[in-house]
Amino acid sequence: MLEQALEEIEAAADERALQQVRVAWLGRKGRVTEQLKGLGALAPDERREAGASINALKSAIQDALARRERELEEARVREQLERERVDVSLPGLRPAAGAHHLLTQVMHKLTDVFRSLGYEVVVGPELEDDEHNFGALNFPPEHPARDTQDTFWTTDGRLLRTHTSPMQVRYMRSHRPPFRVVVPGKVFRNEAVDATHEAQFHQLEALVVDEHVTMADMRGAIEAMAVALFGPGTRTRLHPTFFPFVEPGAEFAIWWTHPKTGREEWLELGGCGMVHPNVFRAVGYEGVTGFAFGFGLERMAMVTYGVSDIRDLYRGDVRVLRQFRGVA
């Protein structure tokens, strides 16, 4: 009988089959249980002997069941480990690496340069009012920039700032000199869009105010920036021009080699000048001088990286961005 039980246990191919064998032998109506029930009908001395041998049979079956159970469990785990094994020799899936937009790279590079020169980096609102964008900056009431042709006005009489210069006014009204700040940010103009003009672009404004700031200091700051960006030996040039909020005012340019044509030429970067006395008056400053400059970041990015159409910077075409991943 034991032999038959052991054979069945050995033959059980999985845990379910083994459970059936257990029930068939040790269950309530199992063969061993039936035998135990039959003991009552025997004479007392026969009963003891038969009882001992049935119990021996029962515990041998229990041992065999436990051993087979362990074997099946081990086989199951082995099979599972085999099935779920990670093949570490397979080439991995490379995560798609992102990168900062070209303009963001240029902006970071510039703000890093100015931070290293001791400037604070501040930002201001894009939705402005006439007073900050024009009035306090000494724009006369009839100035064409105040016209709807050049400026986006909102229906409640406010406007999208046309340059970062309004932050000069905001910063001066909330701080006392001496200070040096730069203001990167988005600006908006009601322009006909072409390869060099967008209706939305970025500027970086600088403002330095102290007791004896001179035009030579301004030139030094611009030169330091140009050298940091374009390398030692970069030449800069100022030539006179008009902005209502500076006097004297100038445009600044650097002498450089165009990356596409290979030609050496002056490259206009932006406007600059000494803060106009009317601007200091509007913010309540006395006994100080200062300089300011501001330039377009798109222009800077285009010439630095050889992008010939400003619209490519805004098309969201990743092929343009991929070319310049991590260049700055």
User: Does 132 sit near ligand FA5 (CB under 6 A)?
Assistant: no
Residue nearest ligand FA5 (C-beta atom): 296
User: Does 201 sit near ligand FA5 (CB under 6 A)?
Assistant: yes
Q: Which stretch binds ligand FA5 (CB under 6 A): 6-14, 37-45, 214-222, 296-304?
A: 296-304
Q: Binders of ligand FA5 among 260-289, rule CB under 6 A?
A: 270-273
Helices (H), 84-209: 102-116, 130-133, 166-174
The amino acid at residue 120 is E
Q: Which residue in the set 299, 301, 321, 328 belongs to the binding site for ligand FA5 (CB under 6 A)?
A: 299
Q: Binders of ligand FA5 among 138-197, rule CB under 6 A?
A: 163, 165, 189, 191, 197
Least Å distance, CB 154 to ligand FA5, is 20
Least Å distance, CB 201 to ligand FA5, is 4
Q: Which single residue is written with the structure tokens 């459970």?
A: 19
Rounded to the nearest 10°, the torsion over CA 240, 243, 246, 251 is: -40
Spatial CA neighbour of 250 closest among 209, 228, 222: 222
Q: Binders of ligand FA5 among 230-249, rule CB under 6 A?
A: 243, 246, 249
Q: Which residue in the set 198, 225, 282, 321 belongs to the binding site for ligand FA5 (CB under 6 A)?
A: 198
User: Does 119 sit near ligand FA5 (CB under 6 A)?
Assistant: no
Least Å distance, CB 263 to ligand FA5, is 20
Residue ranges of E strands in the chain:
120-121, 127-128, 159-160, 179-188, 200-210, 235-241, 246-257, 264-275, 289-296
**Which of 180/189 has CB closer to ligand FA5?**
189
**Which of 105/133 has CB closer to ligand FA5?**
133
Burial of 56 per CB tally in 10 Å (0-12, 13-18, 19+): exposed
**Which of 180/299 has CB closer to ligand FA5?**
299
Q: In the structure encoding, which two tokens stand for residue 96, read together?
A: 């798609």
**Cα R_g (the chain), whole angstroms:** 43
Burial of 19 per CB tally in 10 Å (0-12, 13-18, 19+): middle
Q: At a CB cut-off of 8 Å and minimum separation 6, what does 164 contact?
A: 124, 183, 184, 185, 187, 203, 204, 205, 294
Residues of this chain that bind ligand FA5 (CB under 6 A): 163, 165, 189, 191, 197-198, 201, 203, 205, 243, 246, 249, 270-273, 292-296, 298-299, 310
